[in-house]
């Protein structure tokens, strides 16, 4: 291992530093960034991974992190337990992400992006390495040897951007495209609560750096498979509304009949949440072994992260998930028992 090297003090770009809520709340991330950079600069080989069933933030932040490490002259392996969803397959470097179940070193550190626990990547062998945990989940925990958790960050990609700037990396058009995708998808197209002036400043900086917002939007939102739409139809035929709650589900049989993949379930819960007057929504998916995967959305008045955490999952206050025991009717009862008290106290008429 190389000797101690000089570590430059990280400089946040002004458009981000000035309007970052972390800076405003006094928990400035410079110290965490410097500690992570020290490990990156000293080491030679790194593993970068994210959670299983990767989303836009997972894929985009992994790819950008890999590009930063390569600019620093390091060797990097990008690893995912699951295949990359087709809508992210056109991101620069997406085909360099390897799909494995077990990782083998040697690595100077494994960087876990967007994981609220060391088990989230579902990769065996990770625990053998020095773990760097970079996350923004409300349910984020300090499980790593180094931890940087910013619950106000709009995406983990936004954190990777800060790390890249602090490392002196050039934000290439390819990197910008990956990072822009993390912001676009984690804000649901600049719709969710975490969206604030700094979000647009960062998105603007990334478009300046070469990200093409039209092409990325087309790849993410207008590249669906027909099976995804057929599955959506099956889910919508089960849509139920009860005051401020709405829910829908698909059975495993629906999945088979529609030739749907797991990634085709992405975003279905949003259709239930899109009803006027609905504050919280649930989407239940029956897994092949009869357990039930649950996605939760809230418009901000119900904290679905804490509900998901009580049920063994996690996430953000407005978007969370967990896996429940089946059968479907039992899991639906369980989640409604959690959600009904959450909306009972809300005043005013549901539309």
Give the binding site for Mn ion (CB under 5 A).
Answer: 57, 114, 155, 186
295 sits in the region (left: phi over 0; alpha: psi -120 to 50; else beta) called beta
CA-derived radius of gyration, the chain: 20
H or E stretch covering 324: strand 319-324
Task: Please report how many Cα atoms fall inside a 13 Å half-sphere around the Cα of residue 206, on the Cβ side.
Answer: 30
Shortest separation between residue 347's beta carbon and Mn ion, angstroms = 31
Q: Which is nearer to Mn ion, 62 or 235 (CB)?
A: 62
Shortest separation between residue 157's beta carbon and Mn ion, angstroms = 8
Q: Which is nearer to Mn ion, 175 or 328 (CB)?
A: 175
Size (the chain), residues: 351
Between CA 43 and CA 19 the distance in angstroms is: 32
Q: Which is nearer to Mn ion, 151 or 252 (CB)?
A: 151
**Token digits of residue 174:** 């390819």
Taking CB atoms, the residue at the shortest distance from Mn ion is 57
Shortest separation between residue 199's beta carbon and Mn ion, angstroms = 13
Q: Which is nearer to Mn ion, 186 or 264 (CB)?
A: 186
Shortest separation between residue 316's beta carbon and Mn ion, angstroms = 8
Shortest separation between residue 298's beta carbon and Mn ion, angstroms = 16
Shortest separation between residue 85's beta carbon and Mn ion, angstroms = 14
Q: Which is nearer to Mn ion, 10 or 315 (CB)?
A: 315
Q: Which is nearer to Mn ion, 114 or 309 (CB)?
A: 114
Shortest separation between residue 61's beta carbon and Mn ion, angstroms = 8
- Alpha-carbon torsion (318, 322, 236, 213), positive or negative: positive
Residue 171's Cα: distance from chain center in Å?
A: 21
Shortest separation between residue 114's beta carbon and Mn ion, angstroms = 5
The owner of tokens 């955490």 is 309
The Cα diameter of the chain in Å comes to: 65
Return the SS3 of 281: strand
**Token digits of residue 9:** 């003090």
Between CA 23 and CA 196 the distance in angstroms is: 14
Shortest separation between residue 351's beta carbon and Mn ion, angstroms = 30
Q: Which is nearer to Mn ion, 160 or 284 (CB)?
A: 160
Give 171's DSSP letter.
-
Q: Which is nearer to Mn ion, 105 or 189 (CB)?
A: 189
Q: How far apart are the first and last CA of the chain?
A: 63
Residue 81: CB atoms within 10 Å: 20
Q: Which is nearer to Mn ion, 62 or 248 (CB)?
A: 62
Per-residue burial over 310-344, b = 16 or more CB atoms within 10 Å of its CB, e = otherwise: ebebbbbbbbbbbbbebebeebbeebeebbeebbe
Tell me the DSSP string of 223-261.
---HHHHHHHHHHHTT-EEETTEEEEEE-HHHHHHTT--
């Amino acid at each position: 291992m190389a000797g101690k090297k000089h570590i430059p003090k990280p400089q946040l770009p002004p458009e981000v530093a000035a309007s970052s809520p972390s800076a405003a709340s006094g928990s400035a991330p410079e110290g965490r960034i410097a500690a992570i950079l020290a490990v990156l600069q000293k080491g030679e080989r790194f593993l970068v991974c994210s959670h299983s069933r990767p989303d836009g933030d997972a894929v985009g932040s992994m790819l950008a992190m890999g590009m930063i490490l390569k600019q620093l002259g390091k060797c990097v392996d990008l690893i995912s337990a699951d295949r990359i969803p087709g809508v992210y397959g056109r991101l620069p470097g997406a085909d360099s992400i390897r799909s494995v179940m077990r990782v083998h070193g040697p690595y100077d550190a494994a960087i876990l992006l967007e994981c609220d626990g060391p088990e989230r990547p579902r990769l065996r062998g990770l625990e053998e390495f020095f773990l760097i945990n970079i996350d923004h989940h409300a349910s984020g925990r300090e499980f790593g040897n180094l931890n940087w958790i910013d619950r106000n960050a709009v995406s983990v990609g936004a954190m990777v951007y800060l790390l890249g700037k602090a490392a002196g990396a050039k934000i290439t058009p390819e990197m910008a495209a990956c990072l822009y995708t993390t912001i676009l998808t984690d804000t649901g197209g600049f719709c969710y609560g975490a969206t604030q002036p700094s979000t647009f400043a960062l998105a603007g900086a990334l478009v300046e750096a070469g990200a093409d917002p039209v092409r990325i939007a087309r790849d993410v939102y207008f590249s669906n498979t027909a099976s995804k739409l057929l599955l959506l139809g099956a889910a919508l035929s089960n849509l139920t509304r009860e005051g401020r709650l709405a829910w829908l589900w698909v059975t495993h049989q629906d999945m088979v009949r529609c030739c749907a993949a797991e990634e085709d379930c992405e975003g279905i819960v949003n259709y239930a949440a899109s009803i006027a007057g609905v504050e919280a929504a649930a989407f239940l998916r029956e897994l092949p072994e009869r357990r039930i995967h649950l996605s939760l959305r809230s418009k901000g008045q119900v904290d679905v992260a804490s509900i998901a955490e009580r049920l063994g999952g996690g996430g953000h206050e407005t978007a969370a998930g967990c896996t429940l025991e089946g059968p479907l009717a039992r899991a639906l009862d369980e989640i409604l028992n959690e959600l009904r008290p959450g909306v009972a106290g809300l005043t005013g008429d549901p539309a």
